[in-house]
């Protein structure tokens, strides 16, 4: 009987520790929610205006004859968007290239997801950005603002013909940038491809009206 109080104390200590752990977890969750709510706040606020601006920019300009899609490595995002646009706009030349690497295939998960959407990327190989790959492009689509600046500083093209893909998306999705799914989960690939589908739909709608 003399041991019962000790047992009660131990249980009380465990309960206290559990309560503290839960409180810490709750605090972390609250901080995470606050971070998610304020992350990329300027881009979130500006998205509606940017979306209208890019639609107006493309609509008022001449219909492009050659579209160049650019991402970092030219193996995930840009090959997919290239294929989507080429299927929807067969009368235009749509190519892609990247800032890094060359002659690399699309990763297996991207092949699988693209195939489910009716696109065959099995024969695709990445290309680097060079004067020859850029030459003749009169509309360039990049995946984020950093790439837009890098491309504009390296190649002589009207800055008004460089479009950030995320601005074409009718809705804001976490950030202005299109998430790079390389080496990430299937869900991240699907989310990036879904967003690129929405971006493509906006551009295709504009260019089809310009025929």
Q: Which of 71, 76, 161, 199 is catalytic?
A: 71
* Alpha carbon distances (Å) from 106 to 57, 127, 183: 32, 12, 12
pLDDT at 40: 80
Q: What is the DSSP annotation of the chain?
A: -TTHHHHHHHHHHHHHHHHHHHHHHHHHHHHHHHHHHHTTHHHHHHHHHHHHHHHHHHHHSPPPSEEEEEESSSSSHHHHHHHHHHHH-TTSEEEEEESS--S-PPPHHHHHHHHHTT---TT----B--HHHHTT-SEEEESSHHHHHHHHHHS---GGGEEEHHHHSSS-BSBSSPP--TTS-HHHHHHHHHHHHHHHHHHHHHHHHT-
Q: Is 180 a catalytic residue?
A: yes
pLDDT at 24: 73
Q: Which of 43, 138, 180, 194 is catalytic?
A: 180
Q: Is 13 a catalytic residue?
A: no
The proportion of the chain whose per-residue pLDDT surpasses 90, expressed as a percent, equals: 75
Q: Is 24 a catalytic residue?
A: no
Please check the confidence at residue 20 and state whether its pLDDT lies above 90.
Answer: no
Please check the confidence at residue 25 and state whether its pLDDT lies above 60.
Answer: yes
Q: What is the mean pLDDT of residues 22-28?
A: 74
Q: Is the pTM of this model over 0.85?
A: no
Q: What is the mean pLDDT of residues 116-132?
A: 97
Q: Which of 76, 77, 127, 176 is catalytic?
A: 77
């Amino acid at each position: 009987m003399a041991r019962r109080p000790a047992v009660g104390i131990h249980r009380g200590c465990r309960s206290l520790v559990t309560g503290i752990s839960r409180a810490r977890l709750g605090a972390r969750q609250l901080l995470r929610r606050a971070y998610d709510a304020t992350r990329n706040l300027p881009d979130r606020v500006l998205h509606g205006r940017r979306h209208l601006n890019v639609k107006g920019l493309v609509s008022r300009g001449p219909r492009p004859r050659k579209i160049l899609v650019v991402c970092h490595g030219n193996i995930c995002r840009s090959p997919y968007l290239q294929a989507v646009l080429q299927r929807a706009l067969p009368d235009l030349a749509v190519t892609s290239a990247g800032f890094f690497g060359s002659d690399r295939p699309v990763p297996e998960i991207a092949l699988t997801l693209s195939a489910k959407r009716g696109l065959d990327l099995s024969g695709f190989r990445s290309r680097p950005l060079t004067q020859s790959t850029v030459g003749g492009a009169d509309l360039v689509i990049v995946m984020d603002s950093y790439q837009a600046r890098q491309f504009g500083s390296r190649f002589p093209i009207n800055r008004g013909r460089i479009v950030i893909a995320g601005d074409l998306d009718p809705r804001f999705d976490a950030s202005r940038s299109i998430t790079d799914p390389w080496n990430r989960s299937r869900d991240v690939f699907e989310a990036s491809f879904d967003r690129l589908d929405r971006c493509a739909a906006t551009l295709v709608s504009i260019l089809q009206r310009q025929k």
